[in-house]
Structure 1
Amino acid sequence: MGPYTSPIPVRRTHLGNALASEWTKIKSVRSTIWTLGILVALVIGIGLLVSATTNDADYRTLPTTLPGFFGTLLGQLCIVTLGVLVITSEYGTGMIRTTLTASPQRSRVLTAKALVFFALSFATTTVSLALVAYASMGMHSGPEVTEPTSDQILGATIGAGLYVSLLGLLSLAVGAILRHSAGAITTMLGVVLLPAILPAFLMMSDSLRGLGTKMLEYSSPQSLASLFRIDESLNSGWPQLSALAVVTAAAMIAAYALLEKRDV
C-alpha cells in the first residue's frame, strides 16, 4: 500500500500570504478604524480650522503648509497606540499562538505586520497632511504670502508622514518586546513626551544644559517643527528623521531576536 496523498493541494507559503493575512486582520478590527479615524479628524480638522482662522499676513514669514503641524502633534499619539495594538492585542487574546501555528516562521509574521502597518499609517498620515497643505495654500495666496518651497512642502507632507509612521513602527517593536498593551503604550508615551518636558529641568543646571538642548532638539514636537520649517533657525528635520529611523531599526532587531527566542 502506497503512502497517503492528500487530495487537498499543498503549496508552500510565502511573505505574500502573511501580508494578506495581516491586512485582513488590521482592516477588520475596530481599533484600526478608531485610531486612524481620529488621526484623520485631528490632522484635517485642526489643520483646516487653523487655516480658516488665520489671514494672509500671518504667512509672510511662515509657510502656508504650517496648519498641518498642529493636528499632527496630537495625531501621532493615535499612530503610537495603533502600532502597539497591532501586535499586543494578539498576545492579550492568545491569538498569537494561532498565528504562529499557521505561520511557524516568526520573523515572517513580524515582517508582515511591520510592512502592512507602516504602509497603512504612512499613506493615511501623508494623504491627510497633503490635503491640509494644499487646502491651506489655496486659501492663502497673494502678494503678502510667501509661497512655500518644494522642500517645505516635502517636509510638511512626506517628511512628517515618515516621521509619524516610524514612530508607530517603533511602537510596534516595543509592543513585540514587552507583549503588553498598557506597558508598551506607557513606554511610548514616555518616549514621545519626556524629551519635550525633561529639558526644561535639565537646562536649570549649567552642566546638563547641553544635554537638555540636544534632547529638546530631537524631541517629537521639535522634530515635527523642523520638518514643517516653522523657524528658519531650525534644521530641515531630516537629521531627526534619520535618528528615529536608526532607533526604530535597533528596536526591530531586538524584537526579531526576542520573538525567535521566547515562548509564546
Structure 2
Amino acid sequence: MPAGGPVGYVSPIPIRKATLLDAVASEWTKIRSVRSTMWTLGVMVLLVLGIGFLAATLVAGQDGDTGNSSPLALGFFGVLLGIICVVTLGVLTISSEYGTGMIRTTLTACPDRGRVLGAKSIVFFLLTFVITLISTGMIAVVDSALLGDRTTFTPDAETWLRATVGVSLYVATLGLLGLAVGALLRHSAGAITLMLGVVLLPMVLSLFMMGDALSEVRKALIEYSIPMQLSAFYATSADHIEGPTGWTPLWIMLGVAGVALAGAYVSLTRRDA
C-alpha cells in the first residue's frame, strides 16, 4: 500500500503552499465571529455618531454664529472616546488567544509566526479603518449640514480629507499599537490598562506640573498627547496649535506602531506560546 493511499487514488483537495492570504482569511473568520468585535466597534460607532450629533445640535440651538471655526471639528469629541474601544479591540485581537490557549492552535495551523502577526495586523487595521471612516464621514456630513450656515468657514478638500481619512488612519494605527502591546504583554487586562495610560496619562500628568522647572516637560506632554495629536486633524489654517500639525501626528503614530510591532514580532518568534 503506497504511503499516499490506495493505488490510483487522487485526493480532491488541492495541495499547495499556504500563503499570507490564507492566514488573512483565517484571521478574518476569527475576528468577525467573536462578540468582542461587534461590541467594541458597535460602541465606537455609537460614540462617534451620538456625541458628534449631540454637540452639533447643542451648538446649532444657540444664538449667533460660530465664527471662523470648522463645523467638522465637533466630530473630535466622539472620536476621542471611540479610540478607547479601538485600542481595546486591538489588544483583544491577540491577547485573548493567549488567555484561552487558542494561540497554540493558531500557531500549529500556521507555524510561521510572522505571518500570523502580519495577518492579524492587516485584518484589524483594514476593519477598524473602514468602520472609523464610515463613522467619521457620516458625522462630518451631519455636522456640516447642521452648522454650515452658522459659520463663515467653508471646509475645503484638505479639511475634509484630514477630518475623515486622516482621523481614521490615525485611529486604526493607534489600534495597531494596542495589538502590538497585547502581543508583548500577553495579558488582556494589563495591556488594556497600559494603552489607556498611553492615551490619558500624559494629559493628566501635565495638570500637576505647575513649577517653572517642569514647564518644558508639561508643554511636551500636552503637545504630543493623543488628544492633542488627534485634534490636529480637525484644525484649520486659522487655528493656532502648538506641537505637531497637519499630517505629522499620523507619521509619528506610524513610527511608534512600527517599532512596537517589530518588538511584538521578536517576542512572538522567540518566546514559547
Matches within 5 A, 1:170-189: 170-189=177-196
Partner of residue 131, structure 1: 138
Structure 2 alignment gaps of length 5 or more: none
Which of structures 1 and 2 has the bigger CA Rg? 2
Partner of residue 36, structure 1: 41
Partner of residue 238, structure 1: 247
Relative to the length of structure 1, the TM-score reads: 0.94
Deviates most, 8-17 or 135-144: 135-144
Shift of residue 207, structure 1, vs aligned partner? 2.4
Partner of residue 12, structure 1: 17
Query: What do residues 13-71 of structure 1 show as CA deviations (whole Å, max 9, x unaligned)?
Result: 10110000000000000000000000000000111111122128443221010221110
In 1: Cα distance, 2:246 partner to 2:256 partner? 16
1:219 aligns with 2:225: yes
Query: What do residues 160-211 of structure 1 show as CA deviations (whole Å, max 9, x unaligned)?
Result: 1111111100000000000000010011011111111112223x22222112
Is the CA contact 1:63–1:146 (under 8 Å) kept in the aligned structure 2? yes
In 1: Cα distance, 2:234 partner to 2:151 partner? 20
1:86 aligns with 2:96: no
Is the CA contact 2:71–2:151 (under 8 Å) kept in the aligned structure 1? no
Is the CA contact 1:18–1:112 (under 8 Å) kept in the aligned structure 2? yes
Counterpart of 1:227 in structure 2: which amino acid? Answer: F
Is the CA contact 2:43–2:82 (under 8 Å) kept in the aligned structure 1? yes
Is the CA contact 1:57–1:144 (under 8 Å) kept in the aligned structure 2? no
Relative to the length of structure 2, the TM-score reads: 0.91
1:120 aligns with 2:127: yes
Aligned residues: 263
Is the CA contact 2:53–2:139 (under 8 Å) kept in the aligned structure 1? yes
Structure 1 alignment gaps of length 5 or more: none
Is the CA contact 1:195–1:219 (under 8 Å) kept in the aligned structure 2? yes
In 1: Cα distance, 2:98 partner to 2:87 partner? 17
In 2: Cα distance, 1:14 partner to 1:67 partner? 43
CA distance change for structure 1 residues 58 and 186 in 2, over 3 Å: closer, same or farther?
Answer: farther
Partner of residue 161, structure 1: 168
1:250 aligns with 2:259: yes
**Percent identity, aligned pairs only?**
49
Partner of residue 198, structure 1: 205
1:52 aligns with 2:57: yes
Partner of residue 263, structure 1: 272
- Matched residue of 1:54: which SS? helix
In 2: Cα distance, 1:53 partner to 1:260 partner? 52
CA distance change for structure 1 residues 58 and 111 in 2, over 3 Å: closer, same or farther?
Answer: farther
Deviates most, 86-95 or 216-225: 216-225
